[in-house]
A = this chain, B = another copy of it.
Amino acid sequence: MSKFARPKTKRGLARREAILRAAEEVFGTQGYAAASIAEITRRADTALGTFYIYFPGKEEVFRELVMEMGKLTRAGITEAVQRAGDRLDAERAGLEAFLRFVAARPSLYRIVEEARFVDPEAYRQYFAGFARAYEAQLIEAERAGEVSPGDAEVRAWALMGIAKTLGERFVIWDDAPDIDRVVTEGFAMIRDGIAP
């Protein structure tokens, strides 16, 4: 029986959530190493020790945030992609949904990327799972003639790489990102490549 059952009262639920949100903010702005539990509880307006009522430790909150992000991104992209007509449409919509998500929750996305170093297993599982689903979509699309034939696994990772890097450069780094431009230009390359 885990010592860290979910809270049972309304108050407990609220506290746990407050700590989680404070952790998102602190991890997202300071990074894992510089984030202190004291700072997290301070921002959650609660006592230091309260943290340990809800979480086994620093790494575990972090992991929970990574998983939360995973669910949110997948949900957001899946929804955006559902509306799309064919696979190319879906690629465009997925790229846009991803970039808008990064713009909306930069902290959360920074946390996922830092997980590569803080909790490599969680990071790997997150992206491997994502890639597997992506790959399946591409295989199906190829069968339907919506994309040209090609190695779906390599393509899936290459496409994820494009999204991640464009997000980092043009959304996180830029103050006023022009997401439309990045989506348009990025998608054009995904669709047609750079051959003359």
How many copies are assembled? 2
Contact check: which of B163, B165, B195 meets A88 at CB < 8 Å? B195
Contact with B along A148-191 (1 / 0, CB 8 A): 10110011011011111110011001000000011001101111
Instruction: Check if B194 sits within 8 Å of A190, measured CB to CB.
Output: yes
Instruction: Check if B91 sits within 8 Å of A189, measured CB to CB.
Output: no
Q: What's the nearest-Cβ distance from chain B to residue A164, in Å? A: 6
Instruction: Check if A164 sits within 8 Å of B166, measured CB to CB.
Output: no
Instruction: Check if B150 sits within 8 Å of A185, measured CB to CB.
Output: yes
Q: Is the interface of A mostly helix, strand, loop or mixed?
A: helix
Name which residue of chain B comes closest to A156, CB basis. B169
Interface: A122 (CB within 8 A): no
Contacts of A193 in B (CB 8 A): 148, 189-193
Report the count of interface residues on A (CB-CB < 8 A). Answer: 47
Instruction: Specify which of A88, A114, A186 lies most central, judged by the most chain B CB atoms within 10 Å of its CB.
Output: A186
Contacts of A161 in B (CB 8 A): 161-166
27 contacting pairs across A/B (C-beta < 8 A): A32-B117, A33-B33, A33-B117, A87-B194, A113-B116, A117-B117, A124-B173, A131-B169, A148-B193, A150-B189, A151-B185, A154-B166, A154-B182, A154-B185, A155-B185, A155-B189, A157-B166, A158-B162, A158-B186, A160-B165, A161-B162, A161-B163, A190-B194, A191-B195, A192-B193, A192-B195, A193-B193
